[in-house]
Amino acid sequence: MTALKIGFVVVEGCGEQTMLAEHMLHQMVEIEGEVEYRLVPGTAETVLAAKCFAELTSVDAVLVFMPAEEHPQVLAAALNGLTDVVLDWNMPVVTTISYPDGTSLARAAVAMVGLQMEMEARAERVQMDTSVN
């Protein structure tokens, strides 16, 4: 796997797992440059930050650190928005809601980037030339 660029979106007060995640990333893969951190004031703002990573940077994946004890409606809206980012930008976005500790979050991100790269490479090999002469 090539060197990865990774973005972290961290809700204020939820940064305790970031060091573990970053340490695990460095153990698993080569990281290109520094991990890019963006601090946001609340869970709802994670969607815009993840979308900005997708639109405005060349990161391969985004790890989102948010509080588990969030209001259910805010959490549901944020997770729906993050899912839209994944589908619209074809970029892995993993959260501490699904992976509550930094090491499992990092592993999931690397696994998803690896899967995406493998599937893209396989798709390139199977594409057939359908042009006429």
Q: pLDDT tens digit string along 44-88?
A: 999 999 999 999 999 999 999 999 899 999 999 999 999 999 999
In which residue are the tokens 């990865």 written? 4
Task: Please determine, for residue 8, whether its predicted confidence score (pLDDT) is greater than 60.
Answer: yes
Show me where the domains of the chain are located: 6-126
Q: What is the pLDDT of residues 113-132, one digit of tens each?
A: 999 999 988 887 766 555 66
| pLDDT for residue 63 | 98
**What is this structure's pTM?**
0.90
Query: Mean pLDDT over all residues of the chain?
Result: 92
CA distance 45 to 81: 10
> At residue 16, does pLDDT exceed 80?
yes
CB 38 within 8 A of CB 64: no
Residues contacting 79, CB < 8 A, separation 6+: 95, 97
Number of neighbouring beta carbons within 10 Å of residue 57: 13
**Residue 98: partners with Cβ closer than 8 Å, 6 or more residues away:** 108
Whole-number percent of the chain with pLDDT over 70: 93
- Fold classification of 6-126 is Rossmann fold (3.40.50)
CB 109 within 8 Å of CB 77 = no
